[in-house]
Amino acid sequence: MTAARRADGLIQVAVPTWIYLPAAVGTLFVIAPLIAMLFAVDWAHFIPLITSESSRAALILSLKTATASTLVCAFIGIPMALVLARGNFPGLAVLRALVLLPLVLPPVVGGIALLYTFGRQGLLGHQLDLVGFRIAFSTAAVVLAQSFVSLPFLVLSLEGALRSAGAGYEHIAATLGARPSTVLRTVTVPLVLPGLISGAVLAFARSLGEFGATLTFAGSLQGVTRTLPLEIYLQRETDADAAVALSLVLIVVAAVIVIASAGRRLAGLR
């Protein structure tokens, strides 16, 4: 590929042609399993399989809990990202590393950690139990597990957006006499909104796929704690066709969300 001179006089450097081959292999690596899934689906029974009572209960529970978890992540994640991006105090780097820990932790480990925190005999769970608030085996436990694993996705996206947006406009607003809260509301948030949305979408998608922490911490009961990934895991024991059909539903839901947000983000950039 040769460098082409654009109308504005800048030289656009193309990607070397050979790069396309490993890139194509990589794309195939991601897409091939999805295509294999399409071939494995028992299409004749697809609709009955995904509309059975247990499947519907799992899908509805998954959508509800993932939405709740995304709200929890936004509620606590936005302030965290602001502090990490704009704060200035010793130990900030260590704090960031700790906050992002759930990202690299195996979900089962997260589930065990939550068990010993919010479980009946846990650090906080015991006190909560005494005042009559029991998290174990409730839908709240599912939301807690999903929020724990999804939070870093929102914090990381938003912090990145805050850093690349810079603090220039905020300084100007402050010089013009705006209070910190006014700057946050009228300058910072509108500026990083695309980053916030993509972070929220990532958190939602991660919540939707959460399995390990939920299984370890929340249990598995239809309509209460058995989300779609847990239902797939259970169906696989007796009905492989149902497991494959539900897996496809999960893939489609996740793909729709990710593609919709990507489209939105591209529109936002223009």
- What residues make contact with other proteins under the rule CB under 8 A? 115-116, 119-121, 136-137, 215-216, 219-222, 225-226, 230, 233-238, 240
Half-sphere exposure (Cβ direction) of 145: Cα atoms closer than 13 Å: 36
Nearest to 219 by CA among 164, 139, 157, 152: 139
The CB-of-116 to other proteins minimum distance in angstroms stands at: 8
Q: Which helix (H) or strand (E) holds 4?
A: strand 4-5
Residue (20 or 116) nearer to other proteins, CB: 116
Within 8 A by CB and 6+ apart from 241, the residues are: 41, 42, 45, 49
Residue (77 or 107) nearer to other proteins, CB: 107
The CB-of-234 to other proteins minimum distance in angstroms stands at: 5
Residue (205 or 245) nearer to other proteins, CB: 245
The CB-of-142 to other proteins minimum distance in angstroms stands at: 11
The CB-of-225 to other proteins minimum distance in angstroms stands at: 7
The Cα–Cα gap between 211 and 233 comes to 9
Please, are residues 51 and 129 in contact by the beta-carbon 8 Å criterion?
Answer: no
Residue (121 or 127) nearer to other proteins, CB: 121
Q: Point out which residues pair with 4 in neighbouring strands.
A: 12
Residue (81 or 245) nearer to other proteins, CB: 245
Residue that has been written with the tokens 């939405």 in this structure? 67
Residue (46 or 233) nearer to other proteins, CB: 233
The CB-of-135 to other proteins minimum distance in angstroms stands at: 10
The CB-of-267 to other proteins minimum distance in angstroms stands at: 42
Nearest to 209 by CA among 223, 229, 224, 226: 229
The Cα–Cα gap between 40 and 46 comes to 11
